[in-house]
Amino acid sequence: MDQRSVLPSYVLVTPARNEEAFIEKTLESMIRQTVLPAKWVIVNDGSTDATASIVSRYLEKNPWIKLVNLPQRRERHFAAKVHAFNAGRERLQNVGYELIGNLDGDISFDADHFGFLLGKLKADPKLGVAGTIFREENYSSETDSFEGQNHVAGQCQLFRRECFEEIGGYCPNKAGGIDWIAVTSARMKGWKTTSFREKSFFHYRHLGTAERNVFAAMFSYGEKDYYLGGHPLWELFRLTYRMAKRPYFTGGLALGLGYGWAMLRRARRPVSKELIKFHRKEQMRKLKGILKTLLTLKSVDNFKALPD
């Protein structure tokens, strides 16, 4: 039996800007998929490199791939990525689908990656957003991220169409956090969101380092933690944890400086008070769980240290 007839139909949109170094890896991963999408729209967002020409080589043999070219622009920000995604989504109006996904142009994955995710979404009607963990050089979101299994990384997010429409799609926030806002909004509205551990994808460009260094990226993440409503206690715990990770000390320092700077200038928060309240409640629940685990481990160590 054709897998398309038993699994949900899906479409993908890839906003791509200057991805000539990596997009062929994404293209090769997609054409090898055991379950292909009904349509994959790649939006060339004003690239000044060979991104469009690389994608063009794949169009004739893969008619389910569509390339959309947008005009060149000088600035690079996350709101532009949302506008590019929406431009791609407009090309899907005449396509029937149950799931819609964002797929970045700098990742690679196994041939059964989307087949796996489709199976998970079919099995659980309450699952609104699905994805997997990801890896980078010297980094794994499974072990090095504080987000937990409920967060689905923005490089590859697959939404149930009903869920995506209910949250109003991606929020065009220039400073970032668009993937986080979407996933957290889905949970706030009662949907399950899960990053599965059985599969993974590889992300070739380190998080947040497009056109900037690691320190600047971590500073920006600290700012983002503030304007997305992160609790100060959670941020203190997070920056302490980051200091023990590469780049040692400086990563956590940059994170804390970014959060503090945003707090001092009272940076505008692009999310609702309702979402901030929901987010902080989740953070405190996770922090209590972490501290409880640490105290339990400490108690076990103390018990083992007792004399016979």
Listed in sequence order, the residues at least 6 apart from 106 whose beta carbon sits closer than 8 Å to its beta carbon are: 19, 21, 22, 23, 25, 26, 155, 203, 204, 205
Q: How many helices (H) and strands (E) does the chain have?
A: 11, 9
8 Å CB contact between 41 and 14: yes
- Position 12 scores a pLDDT of 98
In order of their start, the domains of the chain are: 3-203 (3.90.550.10), 213-298 (no CATH)
- Position 304 scores a pLDDT of 46
Q: What is the DSSP string of 215-246?
A: HHHHHHHHHHHHHTT--HHHHHHHHHHHHTSS
What is d(CA 37, CA 103) in angstroms, rounded to the nearest whole number? 12
Q: What is the pLDDT of residues 188-246, one digit of tens each?
A: 999 999 999 999 999 998 765 555 688 898 999 899 999 999 999 999 999 998 898 88
What is d(CA 70, CA 47) in angstroms, rounded to the nearest whole number? 8
pLDDT above 70: percentage of residues in the chain: 92
8 Å CB contact between 82 and 172: yes
**Angle at which helices 78-90 and 178-188 cross, to 10°:** 70
Q: For 1-15, 57-71, 131-145, which range has the lowest pLDDT when averaged over its residues?
A: 1-15
Q: What is the pLDDT of residues 83-122, one digit of tens each?
A: 999 999 999 999 999 999 999 999 999 999 999 999 999 9
